[in-house]
Structures are given as C-alpha cells and as structure tokens.
C-alpha cells in the first residue's frame, strides 16, 4: 500500500488564502502552477496515454513544475505571518510534500482523491436513511455490497452483481445461476454483460 496525498486539498488551501487576502501576491502564482500540474495529467487523458507514457510525461513536465512550486511555497512561508492562511497552506503542503510527489514514483496514482471521494458520496448521503434498515447485520452487508459494487464499476464493465454474501436469507442467494461475488472483473464470480456492439 502506498500513502499519497491529494493535490486538490493542497491547492484548496492556497486558493482560500487568495480569497481571504487577494492582495497577497505570492499565493496566486502558486495556485496557477498547481493548475499547470493538473493540466499535465489532463492532457495525458485527452491523448489517452498509457500509464507508462504518462509516467514519462510527468517526469519531463511535472517534475520541473514541482521544483518551482516548492521554491515558491518556501519563499511564501518565509514572508507570511505565522498565523495567516497562507502560512498554514505552506505548512500543509511542505509537511506532505513527500506524499504529494509520490505520483512521480507510481504512475498509476492520480493527483487527487476526488474520484475516490465522489464514489463514496452516495454512501455518505444515504447514511441517515440506512440507520433504520433493521439490524447491525444488515448494515454490515450493505457496506460490503457498496464496496464491492464500486470495485466492479471501477473495472469499467457492466457487471451482474449477486447478493449471496450480503443477503444469505434471500431466495436469490440459493439460486445456482449466481456465483459468489468477487470484487474484480475477470474473476469467475463476476458475470460480464454484453455491451451493444461488443462481445462479452
């Protein structure tokens, strides 16, 4: 497991510092260069680059940007008041710098955790409704189902999801048609459905 930090969170700190005090000249260029960093990956997505090609692109473009961003953050920290929003933003970024730059070592990592957070939003929004589903056992089954469903969706296939592990009392769980659910497409427990114009 690799611990990586989120650039969206780091950027938000500086963006809020600019909003609180637009007259601070050093924060705006930092935000602008962070936007350039995101633009590197955005271009890679537009060109549908492979992970290996994106890694090369990051080394060529993102690494020099990171060096410049860090130097600007260090300069801003030395000029900012210790209790200011800008100083806190600088402390946040520098404290997490090793984790923020880990994507240079692992090309499969994204710059931000927005995708993961968005995938958890339906669970967070529905949590209060699920307080009254009947029992703690059902709550655990629901959480397991939600995690496995998101794993299946992440495989970029339409999958027929089965319920044996989550609701063993339902008639569907005793049907021989359904197999035990596994979280990865390609495993025998996931049934890939045909897309229009594509074979399974």
Whole-model pTM: value is: 0.62
Q: Report the C-alpha gap between 120 and 127 in whole angstroms.
A: 11
Q: Given this model, what pLDDT does residue 23 score?
A: 79
Q: Given this model, what pLDDT does residue 196 score?
A: 44
Q: Given this model, what pLDDT does residue 130 score?
A: 58
Torsion region of 175: left, alpha or beta (phi above 0 gives left; psi -120 to 50 gives alpha): beta
Q: Between the CA atoms of 58, 63, 65 and 69, what dihedral angle is there, to the nearest 10 degrees?
A: 130
Q: How far is CA 111 from CA 35, 37, 114, 183, in A?
A: 11, 9, 9, 24
Q: Report the C-alpha gap between 50 and 131 in whole angstroms.
A: 43
Residues 6 or more apart in contact with residue 96 via CB below 8 angstroms = 5, 10
Tens-of-pLDDT digits for all 200 residues of the chain? Answer: 888 999 999 999 999 999 988 877 889 999 999 999 999 999 999 999 999 999 999 999 999 999 999 999 999 999 898 999 999 999 999 999 999 999 999 999 999 887 766 766 666 666 656 555 555 666 666 666 666 666 555 554 444 444 444 445 544 444 444 344 444 444 444 344 344 444 44
Per the CB < 8 A criterion, the answer to whether 139 and 148 are in contact is no
Residues 6 or more apart in contact with residue 185 via CB below 8 angstroms = 152, 155, 156, 157, 159, 192
């Amino acid at each position: 497991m690799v611990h990586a930090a989120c650039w969206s969170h780091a950027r938000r700190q500086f963006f809020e510092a600019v909003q609180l005090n637009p007259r601070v000249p050093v924060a705006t260029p930092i935000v602008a260069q962070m936007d350039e960093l995101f633009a590197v990956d955005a271009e890679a997505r537009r060109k549908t680059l492979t992970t290996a090609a994106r890694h090369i692109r990051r080394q060529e473009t993102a690494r020099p940007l990171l060096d410049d961003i860090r130097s600007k953050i260090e300069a801003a920290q030395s000029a900012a008041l210790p209790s200011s929003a800008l100083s806190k933003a600088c402390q946040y970024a520098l404290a997490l710098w090793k984790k923020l730059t880990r994507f240079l070592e692992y090309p499969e990592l994204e710059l931000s955790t927005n995708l993961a957070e968005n995938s958890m939003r339906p669970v967070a929004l529905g949590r209060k409704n699920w307080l009254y589903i009947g029992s703690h056992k059902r709550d655990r089954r629901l959480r397991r189902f939600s995690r496995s469903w998101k794993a299946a969706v992440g495989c970029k296939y339409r999958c027929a999801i089965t319920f044996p592990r989550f609701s063993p009392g339902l008639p569907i769980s005793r049907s021989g048609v359904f197999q035990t659910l596994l979280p990865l497409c390609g495993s025998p427990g996931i049934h890939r459905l045909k897309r229009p114009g594509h074979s399974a």
